[in-house]
Amino acid sequence: MANTLSPLTIGDLEMEVLEQLWKLGSGDVKEVHAALTGGRDNHPNTVQSALERLFRKGVLEREKRSHAYLYSPLVTREELAARLIDEALHRVRMAEPMPTLAALVDLAAEQDPGVLDELERLVQAHRAKRTGA
């Protein structure tokens, strides 16, 4: 993924808001606020601020509906993860990316050993696509 946008940081509440919008598809402040659960007791104004920040960061789009904005994700969870990982690699500014990528594989294996099999399958599929096989 090209690193043409400014560095992106996503806070905890922003991530929770994104999770809800990925589930809902789209929503206004009231819908997103109602969908948020967990230990937080956020005020609708706080949710509105998170939605506005995500819009300014280019992660959400919005459309004016009557008196409110309807927000929708511009990126998938996978696209966001790829951008955050890409930015982290650039932030580390390592001449050799292998140690960082190896650390990522180690972290994936700690999550679930089966992830390594899936990563291997993805690497093979990527190689096949690149060679046209």
DSSP per-residue string spanning 62-126: EEEETTEEEEEESS-HHHHHHHHHHHHHHHHT-S--HHHHHHHHHHHHHH-THHHHHHHHHHHHH
Q: Which domain covers residue 85, as residue numbers?
A: 1-93
Statement to judge: residues 11 and 30 lie in one domain: yes
Statement to judge: residues 51 and 100 lie in one domain: no
Statement to judge: residues 20 and 60 lie in one domain: yes
> In whole angstroms, how large is the CA radius of gyration of the chain?
18
Statement to judge: residues 124 and 76 lie in one domain: no
Dist CA 132 CA 12 (whole Å): 41
Dist CA 31 CA 15 (whole Å): 16
* pLDDT one-digit tens code per residue, 23-45: 999 999 999 999 997 556 788 89
Statement to judge: residues 56 and 116 lie in one domain: no
* pLDDT one-digit tens code per residue, 12-22: 999 999 999 99
* pLDDT one-digit tens code per residue, 73-129: 999 999 999 888 888 777 776 667 788 788 888 888 888 878 888 888 998 999 999
Statement to judge: residues 15 and 70 lie in one domain: yes
Cβ contact 28:44 at 8 Å: no
Predicted local confidence at residue 1, as pLDDT: 41
Statement to judge: residues 108 and 82 lie in one domain: no
Statement to judge: residues 69 and 108 lie in one domain: no
Q: pTM (2 decimals)?
A: 0.74
The total number of structural domains that make up the chain: 2
